[in-house]
């Protein structure tokens, strides 16, 4: 076994490692139950999985919660009187509150911090020149903590990678903390790079029927249509994806790419159907799948199940996979409705309504890539009692042509007395009910200005 310290130490700053060591020392000198608090998304769940597994192996008692760290939760924490708390994937913007909490604390985070602190050990990538948006996730920093605590924790790298994929980071991004973990994991045999289809493992018929991303128009969600499509290459729906030889795999790949291109998907999206992926050798699945399962647990309000999955509980995997399928079914239902009804089209934007606010953003993102007009960003509106919430999604292509949805949502929302903001490619807003029409008109105008003349009709 290569010594973990050397490989990592040569590439990341001493200051970062010193800070992690400080946290390890603080934990090792403590006694009693550790309070673990993490976010309920895939990165948060996987980070908690890494930390709790490491604590379990040290025979430390812990009490974990996967939450949104808001005022209510801080009130609850106040009443608990914890002596030692570890925050993951959060806490950097609530430093003051954490300082006032009393007790010892470690904060493991990759969101931009307000400042450093002396009253807790803040392991935030940004403080050490590591960009938390692309180079490190909470689960990958938690993993560094875990291997510094005990190098037998290297097997937990599966969760580190699943978590960073959950936060849309590329583990292979050069020079990143994620990449260092990936390389160490490859070297130790916990991960293999494999060219794989972006579909769940198991029977091909099920994988295609259940798939939401990629979404095959007229095929996804319909077993009969899947059967017909596969019949064109003489493939049985019961064939197991992992048992296909190269020739069969390539036939399958060709027919699926052709299908996507025929339905109007951009070539760079279709190309993502087959890519180099990370096979978790001890788990027998791809890191993306582990990430998806944890993500679904969080979205279906069962983040606890996601955590017990990350603690290696076998029964949880079966249950969590069922939950993942259930979640996909909800999203797929929404997508099949968009497929049938389409979106309303303005000059520069398109929009549709949905009642399921918890999956609205996901629906919009997938629909944008696979079902809707590729030349206009999409807005999905979810009317509630007094307000209407909104998610906006574009594509990399549109962003390249000047689209900044964060600006659009912020400006258009403010102009109607609401709030909004976010990233160039994905953002959101909340506006007073009844202002939807004005908002869409404003957004249409701003998008038109951002992309003025940049979209070439022939540029596909
Ligand atoms: Mn995160």
Distance 373 CA to ligand 1 centre (A): 31
Q: Of the candidates 206, 415, 411, which has an alpha carbon nearest to the alpha carbon of residue 328?
A: 206
323 located within any domain: yes
Distance 311 CA to ligand 1 centre (A): 19
Residues of the chain above pLDDT 90, percent: 82
166 located within any domain: yes
> For residues 71 and 56, what is the distance between their CA atoms, to the nearest angstrom?
29
My answer on whether 286 and 388 are in the same domain is: no
Domains identified in the chain, total number: 3
148 located within any domain: yes
My answer on whether 114 and 245 are in the same domain is: no
Q: Which of 296, 311, 332 is a domain's end point?
A: 332
Range of 210's domain? 196-332
Contact present, 431 and 388 (Cβ < 8 Å): yes
Retrieve residue 342's tokens: 């389409």
Dump pLDDT digits (tens) for 416-426. 999 998 888 98
Distance 178 CA to ligand 1 centre (A): 13
> For residues 137 and 434, what is the distance between their CA atoms, to the nearest angstrom?
39
Q: What is the pLDDT of residue 10?
A: 46
456 located within any domain: no
My answer on whether 293 and 395 are in the same domain is: no
My answer on whether 28 and 160 are in the same domain is: yes
Retrieve residue 359's tokens: 């999956």
Distance 265 CA to ligand 1 centre (A): 29
My answer on whether 18 and 118 are in the same domain is: yes
CATH number at residue 78: 3.90.1640.30
My answer on whether 140 and 287 are in the same domain is: no
Tell me which residue has tokens 């293999």.
192
Q: What is the pLDDT of residue 393?
A: 96
Distance 367 CA to ligand 1 centre (A): 24
54 located within any domain: yes
My answer on whether 424 and 404 are in the same domain is: yes
Phi, psi for residue 224 in degrees, rounded to 5: -60, -45
Which residue did the predictor score with more confidence, 367 or 71?
367
My answer on whether 111 and 209 are in the same domain is: no
337 located within any domain: no
My answer on whether 143 and 11 are in the same domain is: yes
Q: Which of 308, 332, 356 is a domain's end point?
A: 332
Distance 360 CA to ligand 1 centre (A): 20
Contact present, 39 and 138 (Cβ < 8 Å): yes
CA distances from 265 to 216, 323, 332, 408, 439 (A): 10, 29, 18, 24, 28
Query: pLDDT band at residue 168, thresholds of 50, 70 and 90?
Result: confident
My answer on whether 255 and 310 are in the same domain is: yes
Contact present, 349 and 391 (Cβ < 8 Å): no
Q: What is the pLDDT of residue 11?
A: 57
Distance 169 CA to ligand 1 centre (A): 10
Q: What is the pTM of this model?
A: 0.85
Q: What is the number of alpha carbons within 13 Å of residue 435 lying toward its C-beta?
A: 21
Tell me which residue has tokens 């909490």.
101
Distance 119 CA to ligand 1 centre (A): 23
Retrieve residue 89's tokens: 């994937």
Dump pLDDT digits (tens) for 335-362. 999 999 999 999 999 999 998 888 899 9
Distance 110 CA to ligand 1 centre (A): 7
Phi, psi for residue 350 in degrees, rounded to 5: -130, 155
Q: What is the pLDDT of residue 106?
A: 98
What average pLDDT score do residues 440-458 get? 86
Distance 136 CA to ligand 1 centre (A): 9
My answer on whether 211 and 232 are in the same domain is: yes
Question: Cis link prior to 358 (omega < 30° from 0)?
Answer: no
> For residues 372 and 106, what is the distance between their CA atoms, to the nearest angstrom?
45
Whether 7 shows a pLDDT value over 50: the answer reads no
Contact present, 125 and 177 (Cβ < 8 Å): yes
CA distances from 403 to 141, 269, 380, 444 (A): 32, 18, 17, 11
Dump pLDDT digits (tens) for 169-220. 989 988 899 999 999 999 999 999 988 888 887 899 999 999 999 999 999 9
Residues by chain with Cβ below 5 Å of ion ligand 1: 43, 89, 138, 167
My answer on whether 258 and 310 are in the same domain is: yes
Report the mean per-residue pLDDT for the chain: 93
Q: Which of 297, 332, 367 is a domain's end point?
A: 332
Distance 87 CA to ligand 1 centre (A): 12
Distance 163 CA to ligand 1 centre (A): 8
């Amino acid at each position: 076994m290569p010594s973990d310290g050397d490989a990592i130490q040569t590439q990341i700053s001493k200051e970062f490692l010193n800070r992690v060591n400080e946290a390890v020392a603080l934990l090792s000198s403590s006694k009693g139950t550790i309070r673990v608090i993490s976010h309920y998304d895939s990165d948060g769940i996987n980070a908690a999985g890494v930390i709790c597994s490491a604590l379990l192996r040290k025979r430390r008692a812990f009490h974990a919660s996967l939450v949104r760290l808001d005022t209510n939760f801080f009130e609850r924490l106040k009443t608990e009187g914890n002596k030692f708390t570890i925050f993951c994937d959060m806490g950097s913007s609530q430093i003051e509150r954490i300082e006032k909490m009393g007790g010892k604390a470690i904060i493991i985070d990759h969101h931009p911090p307000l400042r450093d602190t002396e009253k807790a050990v803040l392991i935030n990538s940004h403080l050490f020149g590591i960009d938390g948006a692309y180079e490190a996730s909470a689960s990958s920093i938690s993993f560094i903590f875990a291997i510094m605590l005990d190098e037998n924790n290297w097997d937990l790298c599966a969760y580190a990678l699943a978590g960073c994929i959950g936060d849309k980071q590329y583990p292979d991004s050069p020079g990143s903390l994620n990449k260092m973990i990936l390389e160490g994991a490859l070297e130790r045999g916990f991960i293999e790079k494999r060219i794989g289809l972006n579909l769940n493992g198991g029977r091909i018929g099920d994988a295609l029927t259940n798939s939401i991303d990629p979404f095959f128009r007229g095929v996804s969600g319909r077993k009969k249509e899947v059967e017909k499509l596969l019949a064109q290459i003489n493939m049985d729906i019961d064939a197991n994806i992992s048992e296909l030889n190269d020739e069969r795999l390539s036939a399958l790949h060709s027919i699926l790419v052709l299908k996507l291109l025929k339905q109007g998907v951009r070539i760079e999206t279709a190309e993502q159907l087959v890519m180099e992926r990370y096979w978790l050798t001890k788990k027998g699945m791809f890191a993306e799948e582990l990430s998806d399962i944890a993500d679904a647990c969080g979205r279906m309000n069962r983040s606890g199940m996601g955590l017990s999955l990350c603690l290696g509980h076998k029964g949880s995997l079966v249950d969590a996979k069922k939950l993942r399928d259930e979640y996909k079914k909800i999203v797929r239902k929404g997508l099949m409705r968009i497929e049938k009804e389409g979106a309303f089209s303005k000059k520069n934007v398109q929009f549709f309504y949905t009642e399921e606010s918890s999956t609205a953003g996901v629906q919009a993102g997938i629909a944008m890539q696979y079902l809707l007009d590729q030349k206009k960003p999409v807005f999905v509106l979810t009317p509630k009692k007094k307000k209407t919430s909104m998610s906006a999604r574009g594509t990399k292509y549109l962003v390249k042509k000047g689209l900044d949805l964060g600006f659009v949502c912020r400006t258009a929302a403010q102009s109607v007395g609401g709030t909004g903001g976010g990233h160039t490619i994905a953002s959101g807003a909340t506006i007073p009910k009844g202002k939807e029409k004005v908002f869409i008109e404003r957004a249409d105008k701003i998008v038109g200005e951002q992309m003025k003349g940049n979209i070439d009709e022939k540029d596909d």
